[in-house]
Amino acid sequence: MIRLLDPGPQTTIQDLGRFGQLRYGIPPSGPVDRLAFVLANRLVGNPDGAAALECTLIGPGFEVDGPGAIAVTGADMPVTVDGREAPGWTTLVLRPGDVVKLGPARVGVRSYIAFSGGLDVPSVMGSRSTYLRGRLGGLEGRALRKEDRLRVFAAPMPRPRRVARRAVPAYGSEPTIRVVLGPQADRFTRAGVGALLGNAYEMLPQSDRMGARLSGERITHSRGHDIISDGIALGAIQVPGDGQPIILLVDRQSTGGYTKVATVCSFDIGRVGQVRPGQSLRFRAVTVDEAHRLLREADAVLETGFREEIA
């Protein structure tokens, strides 16, 4: 059992997502930064999809009532255990009564806390993920509050490990996000597509788990910005009439009637979700074949990211 002493501004329970429900208007949810989430679970010996915490900008403080292990990955939030500084991207062994605190993110937006065994909350429509707008999943469909108590499934103590440095993403620099043009790239002028690929776009404070709202050079349409509503893929870049792009994320709507100039490759979604308001990102177009190759490379890093072990 863990007891929340300070929940942070938005801490939710997530697993890898709620699939097969978009036809009913229910998004998959799950972690915005899938790579960091999966690495956290692997550090504590869990299946990739075990329920864990996603923390936004400032992490929580909590107390554990029994022995276990946790791992903190994602945004660079300072971690302390009973007041002692502890590293991220590493298995941390806890004793009964230990108090863990995560401070404000120095770099990045979202951190992940995995617990050995995984969080024990009811599965809703096949997932423990919290969908805040729909008020379902997680703990009563909401962000965590002070004095909430969460059960953790029993599990053996994992072997302490750490993530190899080469597998830890760099969240501080202006990222270049790889995209595949389309599905409605033909509805934009050549100058509009050139603006998308040739300029930096700033992350706006209105961004959330539904979509990353950006501001920058106007992306001009050639035949209007409205289309007959169609399905929204993860990473779709909608461009409404004002010419400012919106990247649709894990809590996105199921359909939309704005033209979509490009789609962010799956392996770069997490990087989008770690760009802070006021920081910028850039886009680079790749072919479908190149995207497949880059995905294989990203999967290979994930599979071989634990070669360094703690003595």
Q: Over the stretch 138-197, which tens digit does the pLDDT of each residue have?
A: 999 999 999 999 999 999 999 999 999 989 999 988 999 999 999 999 999 999 999 999
User: How many domains are there within the chain?
Assistant: 2
Query: Which domain-ending residue is among 163, 192, 213?
Result: 163
Nearest-5° angle of CA 295, CA 301, CA 302?
Answer: 90
Task: Report whether the peptide linkage leading into residue 277 is cis, meaning its omega lies within 30 degrees of zero.
Answer: no
In 3D space, the residue among 107, 101, 112, 88 whose CA is nearest the CA of residue 30 turns out to be 112
Query: Which domain-ending residue is among 163, 190, 223?
Result: 163
| Residue found under tokens 């490009």 | 262
Q: What is the pTM of this model?
A: 0.96
Query: Is there a domain that residue 171 lies in?
Result: no
Give the pLDDT band (50/70/90) at residue 255.
very high
311: pLDDT strictly greater than 70? no
pLDDT of residue 173: 85
In this structure, what are the phi and psi dihedrals at residue 208, rounded to the nearest 5 degrees? Answer: -155, -165
Q: Are strands 110-115 and 52-56 parallel, antiparallel or unpaired?
A: antiparallel
In 3D space, the residue among 158, 265, 279 whose CA is nearest the CA of residue 216 turns out to be 279
- The domain that contains 230 carries what CATH number? 2.40.100.10
The 10 Å CB-count burial string (b at 16+, else e) for 117-136 is: bbbebeebeebbbbbbebeb
Mean pLDDT throughout 250-279?
97
Query: Is there a domain that residue 215 lies in?
Result: yes
Same-domain check for residues 214 and 134: no
pLDDT tens-digit readout, 185-243: 999 999 999 999 999 999 999 999 999 999 999 999 998 899 999 999 999 999 999 99
Joined tokens for residue 163:
């993530």
**What domain range is 90 assigned to?**
2-163
Give the pLDDT band (50/70/90) at residue 249.
very high
pLDDT tens-digit readout, 23-60: 999 999 999 999 999 999 999 999 999 999 999 999 99
52: left (phi over 0), alpha (psi -120 to 50) or beta: beta
In this structure, what are the phi and psi dihedrals at residue 55, rounded to the nearest 5 degrees? Answer: -115, 140
Give the pLDDT band (50/70/90) at residue 307.
low
Distance CA 246, CA 215 (A): 9
Contact 220, 191 (CB under 8 A): yes
Radius of gyration in angstroms for the set of CA atoms belonging to the chain, rounded to a whole number: 20
